Amino acid sequence: MEQKRPLVVLSADSTQITDTLPAPPGWQLTRINALDPPSGLPPDRDEKPVGICMLTARDTPYLEQIQNWLERLPAACWLALIQREQLGHPEVCRLIQQYCQDYHTLPVDQNRLAGSLGHMLGMSRLRRQLPESHCTNYQHYVMDGHSPAIRRVRMLLRRFAATNEPILIDGESGTGKDAAARFAHQHSNRRNQPLVTVNCAALPATLIHSELFGHQRGAFTHALHARKGRIEAADGGTLVLAGVDELSLEQQSAMLRFLQEGKIEPVGSSQPIRVDVRIIATSHKPLEDCVAKDSFRGDVFYRLGNLAVTMPPLRRRLEDLPYLAQSILGSAGETTRQPDKNTLIAMARHPWPGNVRELQNRLHQGLVLAQRPRLRSEDLGLPPALLAYMDDRFSLESFRARADEEAIALSLALTRQNLSAAARLLKISRVSFYRLLAKHDLPPPSHLCSRSEKGESS
């Protein structure tokens, strides 16, 4: 007997599912109430199910709860069911764009639905046949977690992904900038188009034009065949400029015309080619500082930094340590050997200068050295967790200060650095907002707020 294919149906009303969506033949339905807390389902080791989400309600709380479920459920692909009149509802359209591969309007056409579900499951099986080389790399799960810092990054990247503007992602080494770029691509309307990454630090100065823009046959010695450049290879999709701060001034100049006009000119050709790519740039250092030091061109920066996000270091998202440790050890095939309570305290006290990359290295070291069922701090090369209560970072005042800083950063991001609007969003006065900035030694974005606030007053 042929095994039924797994299908998850997410809705707030089980009777609605029965009435509008009878079980398609050959599928095993798992019905989930979208109004329940999104605890998630245990992932199927053999095959992730295809999912149907019922977006037939318009109220914001229901749609937010649907989004929480969509983020947690391990479905390979999602299909939305909506009322025809909902096609003009902005929140419904956003959910479909960011999370779903297809949508159907009610009433359900059973034949068309069965065809769509079968195609989605087939696509997910094709993807599973590709080598998952990133599964043992921290980049695979660094974007997950429940800390305010990483949730804010995910929120910003989802909003940025809905546009075609360039995105600039900076952060310390090991924080997962490449994963953030991939996250933005996967949540954009270009998710099914190419994602091409250029390692800017590895671009040879003499071959940058050929590597990026391609060349014609005979353009130079050994150019026996015409070759597309990296930019043209990403046409229709996303181009990631990884480590853009490593580009020399000469290399930045070579990129400028493309950034300005969206055109490239292969080496040996005088015919410009228009390409449609979304630019995501990552940087180890804030590009504003590089511009101030004259190591980065201001005109290039202003074409890359329209939408900026900073990846939080691990010391700013300590709440995610247990989850990240479990994910890293699980990817290494270890589901039983986990850090004990004292080890987790020692991990939380460590400053993690190498961030999540260092966490992965230390845990892999611990798996080799551990001689007990539980990992100890010594196995990870960390000092014992004695006197952890004396660490100032675990005082109530310290936690309150971090909450204040998160609120300030998020409110400024949501209001485009407008201090007055940010204060109104936090329901405090503008004077109180300035006091918070001073209390936490945070400089006001005067060069931004003055322009936007003048615009408000005019």
What DSSP string runs through 146-197? -SHHHHHHHHHHHHHHTS-S-EEEE--TTS-HHHHHHHHHHTSTTTTS-EEE
At 108 the pLDDT is 82
d(C-alpha 209, C-alpha 204), whole Å: 10
136, 148 in Cβ contact below 8 A? no
- Residue 143 covered by a domain: no
Helices and strands per DSSP (H, E), number in the chain = 18, 14
- Residue 306 covered by a domain: yes
| 3-class secondary-structure state, position 238 | strand
Q: How far is CA 345 from CA 318, 323, 354, in A?
A: 10, 14, 18
- Residue 36 covered by a domain: yes
pTM score of the predicted model: 0.59
Are residue 170 and residue 298 in the same domain, yes or no? Answer: yes
Are residue 155 and residue 294 in the same domain, yes or no? Answer: yes
- Residue 133 covered by a domain: no
- Residue 235 covered by a domain: yes
Q: List the domain range (segments joined by +) for residue 421.
A: 395-457
Domain final position from 63, 96, 128: 128
| 3-class secondary-structure state, position 5 | strand
Helices 90-99 and 60-72 pack at an angle, to 10 degrees, of 0
Are residue 345 and residue 289 in the same domain, yes or no? Answer: no
- CATH number of residue 438's parent domain: 1.10.10
CA nearest to 66, candidates 80, 77, 76:
80
d(C-alpha 202, C-alpha 249), whole Å: 15
Are residue 214 and residue 279 in the same domain, yes or no? Answer: yes
- CATH number of residue 99's parent domain: 3.40.50.2300
Are residue 236 and residue 272 in the same domain, yes or no? Answer: yes
Are residue 345 and residue 204 in the same domain, yes or no? Answer: no
Total tally of structural domains belonging to the chain: 4
Q: Is 412 left (phi over 0), alpha (psi -120 to 50) or beta?
A: alpha
Are residue 77 and residue 205 in the same domain, yes or no? Answer: no
Q: Are strands 214-215 and 227-228 parallel, antiparallel or unpaired?
A: antiparallel
Are residue 339 and residue 324 in the same domain, yes or no? Answer: yes
Are residue 277 and residue 171 in the same domain, yes or no? Answer: yes
- Residue 139 covered by a domain: no
* Angle at 156 (CA atoms; ends 150, 158), nearest 5 degrees: 105
Per-residue pLDDT of the chain (458 residues; tens, 9 = 90+): 457 788 888 887 655 555 566 667 788 888 888 777 655 444 444 456 788 888 876 666 777 778 777 766 656 678 888 888 887 787 888 788 767 888 888 888 888 888 888 888 887 776 555 444 334 566 778 888 888 899 899 999 999 998 999 999 999 999 999 999 999 999 999 988 889 888 888 777 666 777 788 877 766 666 667 778 888 888 999 999 999 998 888 888 888 888 888 888 887 777 888 899 999 999 998 898 899 999 999 999 989 988 999 999 999 998 899 889 888 888 777 666 788 888 888 888 889 999 999 999 999 888 888 877 788 888 898 887 554 444 555 566 777 877 888 888 888 877 878 888 888 888 899 888 888 888 877 777 654 443 334 444 33
Are residue 155 and residue 185 in the same domain, yes or no? Answer: yes
Are residue 287 and residue 165 in the same domain, yes or no? Answer: yes
At 66 the pLDDT is 81
Are residue 64 and residue 111 in the same domain, yes or no? Answer: yes
- Residue 142 covered by a domain: no
Domain final position from 82, 99, 128: 128
d(C-alpha 113, C-alpha 110), whole Å: 5
